Amino acid sequence: MDSCSTISPTSTSLEHKGFDTKGAEQRPVIPCRLRPFALFPLARKSSWQELIARRMTIAAPARCPVCGSLTVIVRIRGNIRERCRCIRCGSTNRQRQLAVVICSAVASATGVKVRSLRDLHRLDGYVIYNTEAGGAIHRQLVGMENYISSEYFGEDYEPGEMVRGIMHQDLMRLGLGDETVDLVISSDVFEHIPDPYRAHREVFRVLKPGGRHIFTVPFHPDRVLDEIRTIIDLRGRVILTKDPIFHRDPIRKKGALVHRIFALEMLVNLARMGFVIRMYHLHKPWYGIFGAYALVFEAMKPAS
Ligand SMILES: [Zn+2]
């Protein structure tokens, strides 16, 4: 945190703005310039792998928790969270963050040793629902028994309907039965849902007791309340309350609108719904996970 500094403002500059400058020469400048402090203990760590990743094209050797390979992580321009890719499976930093938490959670739930998402194929009767039907995580899981994936194609379709060979689902009204899923995966999806807490309640409904939703979302670690960027009017129309932000979307060329950026409020809301909520702040260069604010959330439906 910055300390207060004493400055000697020039009389000329303050007089010019109409201030009385008598005796102002040694007065501390108030308020101090304060940097917001994270509400959570988020360490800012760095490593030699990260330092190389920030400066060079080829980052570092790693064991990828998505594909399980000994591999090299390559940075292809852009930010470290989205662009440091495994040369074997194409996974991004964010997808490897999810994979590490998924492996740990599944291992503790099933007692099976899970070193990468590839190992999930060994599980018997374990139902996984992925809220996207593309990307490195999907490519590792597709073909697995009891694996479900979907995309959102719009209001014209019914939940569970197949569209161009992909299942359509609306997370605010899922076409899945009560207590039928062991693991729900979502990777930067819930910020694009107009009413994300309605979607979380749907996830709670479809999860089996002891089941988990493991996810990433944009998150303000230094704010209490969510940043609400849109509201829904009485006719169900989306009204922008801030300048629109769009994220890249494999389905829509225009991109996906960001409705909300989450904060502490999200953890409280999920706990109130009945979830046991955990937040992981990861820094695991050996698994290709670099950078500050590598946050993954785990919302578990209690076993009883
Ligand atoms: Zn990989």
What confidence tens digit (pLDDT) does each residue in 121-149 have?
A: 999 899 999 999 999 999 999 999 999 99
Report whether pLDDT(7) > 60. no
Same domain? For 128 and 30 the reply is no
CA–centroid distance, residue 118 to ligand 1 (Å): 10
Same domain? For 169 and 20 the reply is no
Same domain? For 193 and 271 the reply is yes
CA–centroid distance, residue 194 to ligand 1 (Å): 32
The pLDDT score that the predictor gives to residue 41 is 52
How far, in Å, CA of 246 to CA of 196, rounded? 17
CATH of the domain at 295: 3.40.50.150
The reply to whether 59 falls in a domain is no
Question: Is 0.75 surpassed by the pTM of this model?
Answer: yes
- Do residues 276 and 304 touch, judged by C-beta distance below 8 A? no
CA–centroid distance, residue 65 to ligand 1 (Å): 7
Strands of 58-63's sheet, edge to edge? 58-63, 70-75, 84-86
Stretch 284-290: mean pLDDT: 87
Percentage with pLDDT > 70 across the chain: 80
The reply to whether 72 falls in a domain is no
The residue with greater pLDDT, 270 or 30, is 270
pLDDT band at 59 (very low <50, low <70, confident <90, very high): low
- Do residues 66 and 117 touch, judged by C-beta distance below 8 A? yes
Report whether pLDDT(175) > 60. yes
CA–centroid distance, residue 287 to ligand 1 (Å): 9
Which residues form the domain of 184?
100-300
Same domain? For 209 and 113 the reply is yes
CA–centroid distance, residue 76 to ligand 1 (Å): 15
Same domain? For 130 and 265 the reply is yes
The pLDDT score that the predictor gives to residue 21 is 43
CA–centroid distance, residue 112 to ligand 1 (Å): 21
CA–centroid distance, residue 100 to ligand 1 (Å): 12
CA–centroid distance, residue 71 to ligand 1 (Å): 7
Same domain? For 12 and 129 the reply is no
- Do residues 125 and 113 touch, judged by C-beta distance below 8 A? no
Q: Which sign, positive or negative, has the C-alpha torsion 154, 160, 166, 172?
A: positive
Report whether pLDDT(74) > 90. no
Same domain? For 165 and 280 the reply is yes
pLDDT band at 24 (very low <50, low <70, confident <90, very high): very low
Domain tally for the chain?
2
CA–centroid distance, residue 53 to ligand 1 (Å): 16
- Whether the ω angle into residue 250 lies within 30 degrees of 0, i.e. cis, is no
Same domain? For 24 and 120 the reply is no
The reply to whether 107 falls in a domain is yes
CA–centroid distance, residue 87 to ligand 1 (Å): 7
The reply to whether 147 falls in a domain is yes
Tokens of 59: 């980052």
The residue with greater pLDDT, 174 or 54, is 174
The reply to whether 182 falls in a domain is yes
Q: Look over the chain and give the mean of its residue pLDDT values, rounded to a whole number.
A: 83
Q: pLDDT by residue (tens digit) across 230-268? A: 988 888 888 888 888 888 877 777 778 899 999 999 999
The reply to whether 29 falls in a domain is yes
Same domain? For 285 and 149 the reply is yes
Same domain? For 104 and 215 the reply is yes
CA–centroid distance, residue 294 to ligand 1 (Å): 18
- Do residues 222 and 38 touch, judged by C-beta distance below 8 A? yes
Angle at 139 between CA 259 and CA 212, to 5 degrees: 55
CA–centroid distance, residue 89 to ligand 1 (Å): 4
Q: pLDDT by residue (tens digit) across 180-189? A: 999 999 999 9
CA–centroid distance, residue 88 to ligand 1 (Å): 5
CA–centroid distance, residue 234 to ligand 1 (Å): 45
